[in-house]
C-alpha cells in the first residue's frame, strides 16, 4: 500500500540522505580502522563494542556459566579471557530472554556472528519499510540513516527494536496476532515499548494485546526452561539494580554523551534524581496522552500514527541513547513524505544522532527536545481543520437522526 501524498522526487531530502550517509559511512570506516592491539582508533575499544555483550553472554550460557552474567567481576574477567585483555569494563544489561538470540549467535566466532546479526536486523528493517509501501530508494535511505548506522557499527540492537516497534504498530490494525508477537518480542528491550499498551487500548485492539501477552509468557517460559528459572530472580536482583545505578550515576559519565531523554536533560542542568525523574514522568505522561488521542482518531491514516508514535516512544523512556533512535529516522522520513513536517525538520531529526554527543559534551543534553518537537509539529499538522470538524459533527448528527 503506497504512502499517501508520497512524493516521488529525490530533491532536497535526497541531499540530506546522501550527506548523512557519507558521514555515517565514514564513522563506520573509522570504527573499523584498528590499531596494533586490534582496537578501534576511533573508540579505543573493540569495533563491535556493544555486540560483545550479546555474544559473550550467549557464549557463557552455552558453556553452562549463565550465573557469570549476574556477577559483574566474573563476567568482565571472562569477557577479557574470551576477547581481549584490554577490554574495558562491561556489564550484562539485558533481560535473560535476550539469551534466546545471544546463545545461537555465540555458537560461531564473534566476527561472523556480528555480520549475521547486522545483516539479519537490517533485512528485517528493510522488510518492515516495504510493508509500509516505501520505495526501494526510500528503504535504502533509512538503512543508511545515522541512527541505523550508529546501531550497526557497534552491533547494538536498535535496528531490531525499531523493526519490532514500527512493524508491530503498522500491522496491529490488519494483523493483530502477528503484531502481538512483535510486541512480545519487544520485551527483549522493554523500555522502548512503554507506549504500545496505550496504543492498543486506545484502538480497542484486544487481539493484539492477548497475542503480546501470550508471546511474552512463551518467551519467559522458554528462557526459564533453557537457562534455568533462577535467571529471572537474578535479573531482578542484580541486573536491574545495576543498570539503574548506571543510569543514576553522577552526571556526566561518558555514556551520558549519547543520551536522548528528558531525564538526562534535567541531570545535565544540575537537577537531582528526584526532580529529574519528575521531569521524565511528566514527559512520559504527556506522550501517553498524545498517543491515546492519536490512536483513538479514525481520520488519521496508519502511516502517520506509526511515525508519530515511534518518535514519541523515544521521549517516553528515561533510558534511551542515539543507537536507539532508528524510529526517529523512520518517523521523520514518513512524515516528510506525507508533508506533515518541513524538510528543515527532516534534516535536524535525521542528522541529530551524529551531533547529539557533541551538543551533550559542550553544552547540555538536549537530545530529547528534537524528537518531541518533531512529534508536536506533526500532531499539529494532523489536527482537523475547523471545517472538517464541523462536517464531522454534521455527519454524526445526521446519523443520529
**DSSP string for residues in 348-391:** HHHHHHHHHHHHHHHS---TTHHHHHHHHHHHHHHSPPHHHHHH
* CA end-to-end distance (rounded Å), the chain: 36
C-alpha angle 4/9/12, rounded to 5°?
110
The residue among 358, 373, 351, 395 whose CA lies nearest residue 145 is 351
Question: Tens of pLDDT along the chain (401 residues)?
Answer: 344 444 444 567 777 888 888 888 888 888 888 888 888 888 778 888 889 999 999 999 999 999 999 999 999 999 999 998 888 888 999 999 999 999 999 999 999 999 999 999 999 999 999 999 998 988 999 999 999 998 998 889 999 999 999 999 999 999 999 999 999 999 998 889 999 999 999 999 999 999 999 999 999 999 999 999 999 999 999 999 999 998 999 999 988 888 999 999 999 999 999 999 999 999 999 999 999 999 999 999 899 999 999 999 999 999 989 989 999 999 999 999 899 999 889 889 998 988 888 898 888 999 999 999 999 999 999 987 555 545 545 555 555 55
Q: Is 131 helix (H, G, I), strand (E, B) or coil?
A: helix
pTM of the model: 0.91
What pairs with residue 34 in β-bridges? 40
Rg (CA), the chain: 21
Instruction: Give the number of other Cβ atoms within 10 Å of residue 89's Cβ.
Output: 10
Exposure letters 258-267 (e unless 16+ CB within 10 A, then b): bbbbbbbbbb
- Contact assessment for residue 325 and residue 158, using Cβ atoms and an 8 Å cutoff: yes
Amino acid at each position: 500500500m503506497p504512502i499517501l501524498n508520497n512524493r516521488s522526487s529525490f530533491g532536497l531530502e535526497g541531499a540530506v540522505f546522501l550527506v548523512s550517509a557519507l558521514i555515517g559511512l565514514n564513522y563506520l570506516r573509522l570504527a573499523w580502522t584498528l590499531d596494533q592491539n586490534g582496537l578501534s582508533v576511533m573508540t579505543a575499544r573493540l569495533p563491535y563494542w556493544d555486540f560483545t555483550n550479546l555474544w559473550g553472554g550467549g557464549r557463557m550460557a552455552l558453556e553452562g556459566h549463565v550465573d557469570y552474567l549476574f556477577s559483574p567481576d566474573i563476567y568482565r574477567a571472562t569477557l577479557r579471557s574470551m576477547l581481549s585483555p584490554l577490554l574495558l569494563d562491561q556489564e550484562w544489561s539485558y533481560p535473560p530472554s535476550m539469551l534466546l538470540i545471544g546463545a545461537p549467535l555465540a555458537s560461531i566466532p564473534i566476527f561472523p556472528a556480528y555480520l549475521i546479526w547486522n545483516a539479519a536486523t537490517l533485512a528485517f528493517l528493510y522488510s518492515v519499510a516495504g510493508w509500509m509501501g516505501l520505495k526501494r530508494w526510500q528503504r535504502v535511505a533509512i538503512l543508511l540513516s545515522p541512527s541505523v548506522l550508529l546501531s550497526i557499527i557497534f552491533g547494538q540492537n536498535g535496528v531490531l527494536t525499531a523493526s519490532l516497534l514500527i512493524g508491530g504498530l503498522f500491522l496491529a490494525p490488519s494483523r493483530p496476532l502477528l503484531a502481538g508477537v512483535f510486541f512480545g518480542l519487544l520485551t527483549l528491550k522493554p523500555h522502548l515499548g512503554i507506549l504500545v499498551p496505550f496504543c492498543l487500548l486506545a484502538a480497542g485492539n484486544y487481539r493484539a494485546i492477548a497475542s503480546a501477552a501470550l508471546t511474552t509468557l512463551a518467551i519467559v517460559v522458554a528462557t526459564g526452561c533453557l537457562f534455568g528459572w533462577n535467571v529471572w530472580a537474578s535479573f531482578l536482583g542484580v541486573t536491574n539494580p545495576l543498570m539503574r545505578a548506571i543510569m543514576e550515576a553522577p552526571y556526566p559519565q561518558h555514556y551520558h554523551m549519547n543520551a536522548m531523554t528528558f531525564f538526562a536533560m534535567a541531570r545535565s542542568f544540575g537537577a537531582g534524581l528526584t526532580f529529574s525523574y519528575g521531569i521524565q514522568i511528566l514527559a512520559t505522561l504527556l506522550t501517553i496522552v498524545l498517543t491515546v488521542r492519536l490512536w483513538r482518531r479514525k481520520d488519521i491514516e496508519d502511516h502517520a500514527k506509526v511515525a508519530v508514535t515511534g518518535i514519541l516512544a523515544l521521549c517516553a523512556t528515561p533510558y534511551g541513547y542515539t543507537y536507539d533512535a532508528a524510529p526517529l529516522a523512520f518517523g521523520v522520513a514518513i512524515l516528510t513524505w506525507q508533508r506533515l513536517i518541513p524538510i528543515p525538520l527532516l534534516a535536524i531529526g535525521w542528522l541529530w544522532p551524529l551531533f547529539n554527543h557533541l551538543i551533550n559534551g559542550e553544552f547540555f543534553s538536549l537530545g530529547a527536545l528534537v524528537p518531541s518537537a518533531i512529534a508536536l509539529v506533526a500532531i499539529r499538522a494532523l489536527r482537523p481543520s475547523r471545517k472538517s470538524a464541523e462536517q464531522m459533527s454534521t455527519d454524526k448528527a445526521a446519523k443520529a437522526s
